Amino acid sequence: MNVAEAFKTMSYGTAPESSSNVEAWLKEHKAGFKMFINGEWVAASKSFDTKNPANGKVLGKVSQASAADIDKAVKAARAAQPAWAALSGHQRAKHLYAIARILQKYSRSLAVLETMDNGKPIRESRDIDLPKAIRHFYHHAGWAQLLDTELPNQEAVGVVGQIIPWNFPLLMAAWKIAPALAAGNCVVLKPAEFTSLSALMFAELLEQSGLPAGVVNIVTGDGVAGQALVDHEDVNKIAFTGSTDVGRMIKSRTAGSGKKLTLELGGKSPFIVFDDADLDSAVEGLVDAIWFNQGQVCCAGSRLLVQEGIAETLLAKVKVRMSKLRIGDPLDKSIDMGAIIDERQKKRIEALVKQGVAEGATLWQPENACPSEGCFYPPTLLTDVEASNVVASTEIFGPVLSVLTFRTQKEAIDLANNTRYGLASSVWSENINRALDVAPQIKAGVVWVNSTNQFDAACGFGGYRESGVGREGGIEGLYEYLKPIENLAPEAEVPKPEKAKKTSPLANAEIFVDQTAKFYIGGKQCRPDNGNSLKVIAQSGDVLGSVGDGSRKDIRNAVEAAYKAEGWSKTSAHGRAQILYFIAENLSYRAAEFCQRLISSVGVSADDARQEVDLAIERLFFYAAWADKYDGAVHQPPIRGVTLAMNEAIGVMAIGCPDRSPLLAMISMLAPVIAMGNRAVLIPSERYPLLATDFYQILETSDVPAGVVNIVTGQREGLMKVLAEHQQVDGLWYHGTPLDCKAVEEASVGNLKRTWVNRGLARNWNDKTEGQGKQFLREATQVKNIWIPYGDSV
């Protein structure tokens, strides 16, 4: 088009970013890409093609790692790890700083390569992916520097297997590698098979940067290679970003292995617009929420919840805005939406949209939005979507926005939380009271107030519920690559009691009336649903009494009671502390009685019994003290605003108590859980359940609200399995044998509940570093990052 014509049309023309440097690099690797293992380039026996989704052109051949290749990479990481961890924080910081620098030096080539391999617009890879990846290394160079002094009781986890998705290939590699290296771990990273190239170019830069061999190993391949990495016995942690289904499989395959897990999974994130929002800005927010990266974003704001009175106005604006989106060649600088990663993904999007329409949704797409060639899908609006429609609940992972309306703030929150997921959310309102009231009530790891898809290395990112476990970014993300320095020995078995004597408890001169220990559910004592009891036999063989033999239905009732006690999670931290102090006070009133119970049940000495009771009282004080002091953080991302990292309760938590130190262990697990605002279903020691049934009388006299603590006695492992499978239980702590721990973790994958198990290792409950501390608080909470941009002055 000549200048005069262009003057008349005022069209944009094309503005292709140069790909010549990347084309030359691809040519150098025409023979095929190798893998980066132990600082060397290793070829695999098999390979596969990787394509540019925008035009279908093959970019190169990528190695398919075999199990042997994975093993080689893990061995390299293992060999390199001790020396890497032994470097001073400053030395590791210098390496991370060098990585940040070298990424910066080659940022344009990396951005172009990313766009060619993934199909995302060059604007995004250039202005978002690369700067944020670089920032991640700078930020974590800082953590490496500070680690020795700021986190002295923590050490590296060891060898970490990292499996990343295709939607932000290099950025996710940075999110994984930077904190791992800062903390002293060595990694084996596997990029997604659709998008291996930027990780391989990155590996070449690592080579140049002088990183020691084996610290970072990059293997390529499909899910089979990923599975080999997950299954590898010598991997200490798996960090995965991807679909919830694969995340669930990873949790299942690593159950009981002791492999630490970070899972960043799917979402169906709500984007809530109240009638007092800046609507034009909310529309731009939607562009960034669901038409960013073609909607292939785990935290995409894919559910628009709009207040009824403004719905029509907002949607009219949205349609106008959608018509302005330019879809096409991702290397064109004036393009808003590029290609969908693969034809299979496009077909999945099409099928879900079709199903949504069949279920009543109304479809709207701008006309002539997409180029005729290449793997493109237009921006899509689905209105008349009821909560029951598939497109209201299923992650589409494409540029498809489902719209629902609400009447009130309460209804908005209910709809927002009406999902299995809990990754992110946006709240749009010009009323700070409303926005800050809504944010804590949304069950999601990230809340963006009047903004969306904001990320920064200083802030934690990660999901509630089936959106994952663990955080990436911020100090909360750093902890995922650390473990407390503690050396727990295998638990010695508690000696079997003497053969039960045929004496009745009433033979005991001190007991004049039959005592029937019941369950404690919803603040009431109740009998077992099945009407069965179990004898309680002392170490000496004396029959001490009986307790209810809990069943599935008792667990159901206990979980229901815990679920309904939601008010506890909203009670002030001061209020929770007061209750814990009151429990301690009442326990001290009856200390002698509990001593006696310990002596008669466990057979400990009077001194040991007294010490256990005293420590139990002290532990209650300890967590009462922490209740209003386990503060979150105010992170400082590079915006005008703050990010509040709030430690929130997980929800309903199941606790399976060990037999050793039955009173102290129970209190040590229960107190942090309720101090942090969780509601508990507690299965006491199977051997010494009377300590727990005695304890509910203390709960009853300590103003503990009904349902906050529920106690069901019986066959512990069977009951824990029911709890692990229960979809309403959000977290689970369990102390048991390695085999039982595995079973409990496997059973918990249904709703991906947070689990913390001891794998048969003995925690010394008397010890003040092993038996209590911040680790317990971290395990009893999840971090929510609330982004609050501000400013109203020009």
Partner 1 sequence: MSAEKKNRNPAKPSAVSLKSVAVDQQSGHDDLLNPGTSFNAEWVNDIRINQSAVERRSDSLKARRSPKKNFQAAWLLKAVSCMDLTTLSGDDTPGRVKRLCAKAQHPVRTDLLKAMGAESLNITTGAVCVYHSMVETAVTALAGSGIPVAAVSTGFPACMSPMPLRLQEIEASVEAGAVEIDIVITRHFVLTENWQALYDEVLAYRKACGKAHMKTIISTGQLSTLNNIAKASMVCMMAGADFIKTSTGMEAVNATLPVSLVMVRMIRLYRELTGFKVGFKPAGGIGTAKDAINYLVMIKEELGDEWLNPEMFRFGASSLLADIERQLEHHVSGQYSAHNRHSMA
Contact 675, 577 (CB under 8 A): yes
CA pair distance 79, 159, nearest whole angstrom: 9
Contact 788, 463 (CB under 8 A): no
Per the listing, tokens 């939380």 go with 417
Nearer to partner 1, 174 or 287 (CB): 287
The answer to whether residue 18 forms part of the interface with partner 1 (CB under 8 A) is no
CA pair distance 187, 177, nearest whole angstrom: 7
The answer to whether residue 23 forms part of the interface with partner 1 (CB under 8 A) is no
DSSP secondary structure of 272-323 = EE-TTS-HHHHHHHHHHHHSGGGG--TT---EEEEEHHHHHHHHHHHHHHHH
Out of 2, 149, 372, 433, the residue judged to bind partner 1 by CB under 8 A: 2
Nearer to partner 1, 12 or 589 (CB): 12
Nearer to partner 1, 134 or 752 (CB): 134
The answer to whether residue 379 forms part of the interface with partner 1 (CB under 8 A) is no
Q: Which is the catalytic residue, given 17, 114, 124, 298?
A: 298
Nearer to partner 1, 368 or 504 (CB): 368
User: Is 758 exposed, middle or buried, given 0-12, 13-18 or 19+ CB atoms closer than 10 A?
Assistant: buried
Nearer to partner 1, 310 or 691 (CB): 310
Nearer to partner 1, 126 or 176 (CB): 126
Out of 155, 231, 284, 717, the residue judged to bind partner 1 by CB under 8 A: 284
Which residues lie closer than 8 Å to 146 by C-beta, 6 or more apart?
A: 89
Binding track over 103-142 against partner 1, x by CB under 8 A: --------------------x---x---------------
Out of 47, 52, 402, 451, the residue judged to bind partner 1 by CB under 8 A: 451
- Residue 595 known to be catalytic: no
Contact 692, 716 (CB under 8 A): no
Taking CB under 8 A as the binding criterion, the range among 13-21, 139-147, 583-591, 660-668 that sits at the site for partner 1 is 13-21
The answer to whether residue 368 forms part of the interface with partner 1 (CB under 8 A) is no
DSSP secondary structure of 189-228 = EE--TT--HHHHHHHHHHHHHTPPTTSEEE----HHHHHH
Contact 235, 160 (CB under 8 A): yes
CA pair distance 217, 81, nearest whole angstrom: 12
Out of 88, 541, 570, 790, the residue judged to bind partner 1 by CB under 8 A: 790
Nearer to partner 1, 3 or 492 (CB): 3
Q: What values do phi and psi take at 12, rounded to 5?
A: -90, -25
Out of 111, 192, 277, 381, the residue judged to bind partner 1 by CB under 8 A: 277
CA pair distance 584, 568, nearest whole angstrom: 18
Output the smallest distance, CB 663 to partner 1, in A: 53
Q: What values do phi and psi take at 375, rounded to 5?
A: -95, 85
Taking CB under 8 A as the binding criterion, the range among 244-252, 279-287, 391-399, 551-559 that sits at the site for partner 1 is 279-287
Q: Is the dihedral of CA 55, 60, 64, 70 positive or negative?
A: negative
The answer to whether residue 275 forms part of the interface with partner 1 (CB under 8 A) is yes
CA pair distance 121, 118, nearest whole angstrom: 9
Taking CB under 8 A as the binding criterion, the range among 4-12, 235-243, 257-265, 726-734 that sits at the site for partner 1 is 4-12
Which residues lie closer than 8 Å to 72 by C-beta, 6 or more apart?
A: 37, 38, 42
Out of 204, 207, 222, 278, the residue judged to bind partner 1 by CB under 8 A: 278
Nearer to partner 1, 589 or 790 (CB): 790
Comparing CA positions, the residue from 734, 723, 732 lying closest to residue 758 is 734
Q: What values do phi and psi take at 239, rounded to 5?
A: -115, 120
Output the smallest distance, CB 373 to partner 1, in A: 22
Taking CB under 8 A as the binding criterion, the range among 26-34, 57-65, 278-286, 575-583 that sits at the site for partner 1 is 278-286
Q: What is the DSSP letter of 769?
A: T
Nearer to partner 1, 61 or 333 (CB): 333
The answer to whether residue 281 forms part of the interface with partner 1 (CB under 8 A) is yes
Which pair of structure tokens corresponds to residue 550? 């809990």
Which pair of structure tokens corresponds to residue 725? 């499978």
Nearer to partner 1, 2 or 388 (CB): 2
Binding track over 320-349 against partner 1, x by CB under 8 A: ----x--------xx-x-------------
The answer to whether residue 309 forms part of the interface with partner 1 (CB under 8 A) is yes
Out of 20, 433, 487, 793, the residue judged to bind partner 1 by CB under 8 A: 793
The answer to whether residue 12 forms part of the interface with partner 1 (CB under 8 A) is yes
The answer to whether residue 442 forms part of the interface with partner 1 (CB under 8 A) is no
- Coil/strand/helix, residue 39: coil
Output the smallest distance, CB 113 to partner 1, in A: 19
Contact 278, 430 (CB under 8 A): yes
Out of 184, 270, 285, 689, the residue judged to bind partner 1 by CB under 8 A: 285
Nearer to partner 1, 241 or 269 (CB): 269
Q: Which of residues 681-700 bind partner 1 (CB under 8 A)?
A: none
The answer to whether residue 433 forms part of the interface with partner 1 (CB under 8 A) is no
- Residue 298 known to be catalytic: yes
Output the smallest distance, CB 787 to partner 1, in A: 10
CA pair distance 792, 794, nearest whole angstrom: 7
CA 729 to chain centre: 16
CA-to-CA separations, 70 to 44, 78, 204, 776, in angstroms, rounded = 11, 12, 19, 34
User: Is 548 exposed, middle or buried, given 0-12, 13-18 or 19+ CB atoms closer than 10 A?
Assistant: buried
Size of the site for partner 1 (CB under 8 A): 47
Q: Which of residues 585-644 bind partner 1 (CB under 8 A)?
A: 639-641
Q: Which helix (H) or strand (E) holds 719?
A: helix 716-725
Output the smallest distance, CB 3 to partner 1, in A: 4
Nearer to partner 1, 57 or 407 (CB): 407
Comparing CA positions, the residue from 149, 143, 153, 242 lying closest to residue 190 is 242
b/e map 371-402, b = 16+ CB within 10 Å: eeebbbbbbbbbbbbeeebbbbbbbbbbbbbb
Out of 150, 234, 430, 703, the residue judged to bind partner 1 by CB under 8 A: 430
Out of 148, 280, 498, 631, the residue judged to bind partner 1 by CB under 8 A: 280
The answer to whether residue 411 forms part of the interface with partner 1 (CB under 8 A) is no
Nearer to partner 1, 388 or 793 (CB): 793
Taking CB under 8 A as the binding criterion, the range among 255-263, 272-280, 656-664, 691-699 that sits at the site for partner 1 is 272-280
Taking CB under 8 A as the binding criterion, the range among 10-18, 65-73, 259-267, 646-654 that sits at the site for partner 1 is 10-18
Q: Which is the catalytic residue, given 17, 264, 466, 560?
A: 264
Comparing CA positions, the residue from 436, 445, 385 lying closest to residue 415 is 385
Taking CB under 8 A as the binding criterion, the range among 8-16, 62-70, 165-173, 745-753 that sits at the site for partner 1 is 8-16
Contact 443, 604 (CB under 8 A): no
The answer to whether residue 15 forms part of the interface with partner 1 (CB under 8 A) is yes
Return the amino acid letter for 355: Q
- Torsion of Cα atoms, 134 then 135 then 139 then 142, to 10°: 50
Residues annotated catalytic, as ranges: 264, 298
List interacting residues with partner 1 (CB under 8 A): 1-7, 10-15, 123, 127, 275-282, 284-285, 288, 308-310, 312-313, 324, 333-334, 336, 430, 450-451, 639-641, 789-794
